């Protein structure tokens, strides 16, 4: 299996900047980068009723889509676990 490219929706930059500590942002970015090697790690879960997956990073959730034919992972949303799922 090849390496996946990581793409971001335009709103993700705003989500990332809303995270208060630099250390949390660095951990989230590192977790996102690890998805290029394995987009379905054992800790990921597929969200019911959608084509989205999620991984945890502390109190934050990273929601993403996987396009296997193009080898692309699209980061859709990053946010606190309490409200990241609203509006899906």
DSSP 12: H
Three-state DSSP class for residue 36? coil
Give the Cα separation of 76 and 43 in Å (integer).
18
- Give the pLDDT of the chain (88 residues) as one tens digit per residue: 579 999 999 999 999 999 989 999 999 999 999 999 999 999 999 999 899 999 999 999 999 999 999 999 999 999 999 889 888 7
DSSP 38: -
Domains of the chain in start order, with CATH, are 5-80 (3.30.2310.20)
Q: Which residue, chain included where needed, has tokens 């951990």?
A: 27
DSSP 76: E
Q: Is the dihedral of CA 38, 44, 28, 62 positive or negative?
A: positive
Name the pTM for this structure: 0.92
């Amino acid at each position: 299996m090849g390496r996946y490219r990581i793409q971001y929706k335009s709103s993700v930059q705003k989500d990332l900047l809303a995270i208060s500590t630099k250390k949390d942002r660095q951990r989230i970015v590192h977790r996102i980068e690890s998805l290029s090697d394995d987009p379905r790690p054992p800790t990921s879960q597929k969200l019911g009723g959608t084509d989205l997956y999620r991984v945890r990073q502390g109190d934050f959730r990273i929601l993403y889509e996987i396009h296997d034919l193009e080898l692309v992972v699209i980061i859709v949303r990053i946010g606190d676990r309490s409200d990241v799922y609203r509006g899906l």
